Amino acid sequence: MDKFTTLTAVAAPMPLINIDTDMIIPKQFLKTIKRSGLGANLFHEMRFNEDGSENGEFVLNQDSYRNAQILVAGDNFGCGSSREHAPWALLDFGIKCIISTSFADIFYNNSFKNGILPIIVSEDNLKALLDDASRGSNATLTIDLENQVIKGPDGGEISFDVDPFKKKCLIEGLDDIGLSMEKIDNVAKFEEKIAGDRPWV
């Protein structure tokens, strides 16, 4: 998993509430267990028309936001089913941070485990960030995870809270496998001890 320390990127405004995991990555694209390739179908029903052409009104299809790495979204982002494909699709598309007033618990935890930073802010701060994000190619935010600060294009700052353990994992680029590998020496010592104590096992 890539380390997340500081991110400076274009932020796309998506003020819809209750964006669920089926909207993020529809069920017909869940046939794979690969984490790559899902970004092509991110927000499929909103991004594309029935004939397969792009919906020019959808924010991520607009030139200013095609390379956005931050989403500023409405309340209760990631609700619905607990599919881990949702953060996989977001990350594969290039989204590394989502800012909202609230997230569904499972999506929130899955995001951290996959290298995405979900940030919870107040309603007033979300309105200010949506205003920042509405500036098109000038909608650049800086996310400073170490200092837990969002810096706006005009220099304003918004502080945010994050669980210390989840913060450590993102900064050090540790997913569940990485965390286990940190303990590999202890595992080896335990296995050696067990082999000596119980050679019949």
Is 179 within a domain?
Answer: no
Contacts of 94-97 spanning 24+ positions with Cβ under 8 A: 94/39, 94/67, 94/68, 94/69, 95/42, 95/68, 95/69, 95/70, 95/71, 96/4, 96/7, 96/9, 96/69, 96/70, 97/7, 97/9, 97/69, 97/70, 97/71, 97/143
CA dihedral sign of residues 73, 40, 51, 28: negative
CA distance linking residue 76 with residue 141, whole number of Å: 22
CA dihedral sign of residues 45, 59, 142, 98: negative
Whether pLDDT at 180 is above 90: no
Is 66 within a domain?
Answer: yes
Is 1 within a domain?
Answer: no
Give the residue-averaged pLDDT of 41-59.
Answer: 96
Question: Rounded to two decimals, what is the model's pTM?
Answer: 0.88
Is 191 within a domain?
Answer: no
pLDDT by residue (tens digit) across 139-149? 899 999 999 99
How many domains, in total, are found in the chain? Answer: 1
pLDDT by residue (tens digit) across 86-124? 999 999 999 999 999 999 999 999 999 999 999 999 999
* CATH number of the CATH domain containing 103: 3.20.19.10
Is 124 within a domain?
Answer: yes
Q: What is the dihedral of CA 55, 57, 61, 67, to 10 degrees?
A: -160
Is 126 within a domain?
Answer: yes
CB-facing half-sphere around the CA of 27: CA atoms within 13 A: 3
CB 25 within 8 A of CB 89: yes
Amino acid letter, residue 115: G
Is 135 within a domain?
Answer: yes
| Domain hosting residue 120, numbered range | 6-173
Is 48 within a domain?
Answer: yes
